[in-house]
Structure 1
Amino acid sequence: MNRGRRIVLWRHGQTSWNLERRFQGTTDVPLTAEGLNQARRAARLLAGLRPAAVISSDLTRTRATASELAELTGLEVTHYEELRETYAGVWQGLTHDEIVARYGEQYAAWKRGEPVRRGGGELETEVADRAAPVVEANAEKLPDDGTLVVVSHGGTIRTTIGRLIGLDPGSWEALGGLTNCCWSVLGESVRGWRLLEHNAGTLPEPVLGDDD
């Protein structure tokens, strides 16, 4: 039966590494002052959706983002290691230009949609393997027409969306990156989850993230 549930996948606010175009991955980088302001602004909008539950990656930047929504809604946030960003091995801490210069072939293969362990880290399918089940399990607990807010990272959100709406992994790159503190919305249909909104609230902000 179609219960009309929604999943809002919300990316964390700005960090200094975002501004430097430095690959964060699982590195625990905090929000900038602007990132905190972004989280506060976005939280006011998302609170209007009257979410039934909030879950988050356990890294500092997502915890701080989620806490702004928790403060407005009174909901307790449950944190999951499985919702962390993609682990990217030796790429982590490098700028975009450094990655292209040192690992150009690997970078190009990833952008072509080939299965690549960036920097010796995780495959995108492995990120989806750990993150999507957590999102699905929490969505299953929702009341009819309930909304789940998932606070995570650009790459993890993209792979989770791809998995939940049934896209072939080779085409996940077709889902554009998320701007800091923007979100995508999945809605329940008789055929499963479908993408209702993607990267909501972006313009005119550029996308600065590991999946860009």
Structure 2
Amino acid sequence: MLRIILVRHGETKWNIEGRFQGQVDTELSERGIAQGQRAAIALAEVPIDAAVASPLQRSYLTCKMAADKHGIAVHKDDRLLEISHGLWEGKLADDVAKTYGHELALWRTEPEKVTMPEGESLEDVRIRVRAAFDEYTRTYDGQTLLVCAHDAVNKAIICDCMGLSVAHFWHIKQDNACINVLEYDEGMWRIVTLNATAHMGYLISGIEQKGL
């Protein structure tokens, strides 16, 4: 059996501002660093054999905080990169609405129908992340793997593992530095833990980020 501990990166300044980040390599905010440290403490006593992260520093550094407590290296996997928001990247949600009002409304209601201008669709993300997870089932069989990625990445693969299409993208929430646990055994995925945030001192964050 493979157990994957799937974490979303800590908060960034662009999360606070409501900017679409995508594949821009933004930094963790002061609170984001603290969130990563809390996730690391929560996972310190959990057996972890290996760690993989998106190469973007907000995910890589969040992962490294936890991996360091286990004395293991973090391997970077480009397939875990956040969705490319294309021309939306770096823009505030309100500014995107002015130029791409129809597309933004569709993104928030029927996200499976949207391909970001000069960017990706959720199906593009699902395909590359599923390829990564399929490889992990072979490479890390019998182990516990820490994976740190992004909002859209986590939601897309959770949908896929549950047998849902990416049309259910907004049915899943991923708070900054949340912890999910997925298990794979004999050809079947199951969700053990979803969007856990108790390690940060709250059960429900109440935070709704605009730049997603």
Please list, as runs of the form range in 1=range in 2, the aligned pairs for 1:15-164 lying within 5 A after superposition: 15-113=12-110, 114-144=112-142, 146-164=143-161
By how many angstroms is 1:143 displaced? Answer: 4.4
% identity of equivalent residues: 31
Preserved CA contact (<8 Å) 1:54 1:148: yes
CA gap of 1:204–1:63, structure 2 versus 1, over 3 A, is same
RMSD over aligned Cα atoms: 1.8
By how many angstroms is 1:47 displaced? Answer: 2.5
Q: Say whether 1:198 aligns with 2:194.
A: yes
**Any gaps of 5 or more consecutive residues in structure 1?**
none
**Any gaps of 5 or more consecutive residues in structure 2?**
none
CA gap of 1:43–1:209, structure 2 versus 1, over 3 A, is farther
Preserved CA contact (<8 Å) 1:179 1:209: no
Between 67-76 and 104-113, the greater mean CA deviation after superposition: 104-113
Offset from partner CA, 1:126-180 (integer Å, 9 cap, x none): 0111122112312332343x3211100001111111122221222233222x111
Q: Report the Cα distance in structure 2 between the residues aligned to 1:209 and 1:80, rounded to whole angstroms.
A: 26
Offset from partner CA, 1:94-151 (integer Å, 9 cap, x none): 112222232121112222324211233101010111122112312332343x321110
By how many angstroms is 1:209 displaced? Answer: 6.4
By how many angstroms is 1:42 displaced? Answer: 0.5
CA gap of 1:174–1:24, structure 2 versus 1, over 3 A, is same
Between 63-72 and 112-121, the greater mean CA deviation after superposition: 112-121
Counterpart residue identity of residue 194, structure 2:
H
By how many angstroms is 1:189 displaced? Answer: 5.0
Output the TM-score relative to the length of structure 1. Answer: 0.89
How many correspondences in the alignment? 206
Q: Report the Cα distance in structure 2 between the residues aligned to 1:191 and 1:143, rounded to whole angstroms.
A: 12
Q: Say whether 1:208 aligns with 2:205.
A: no
CA gap of 1:18–1:73, structure 2 versus 1, over 3 A, is same
Q: Report the Cα distance in structure 2 between the residues aligned to 1:124 and 1:154, rounded to whole angstroms.
A: 12
Between 108-117 and 5-14, the greater mean CA deviation after superposition: 108-117
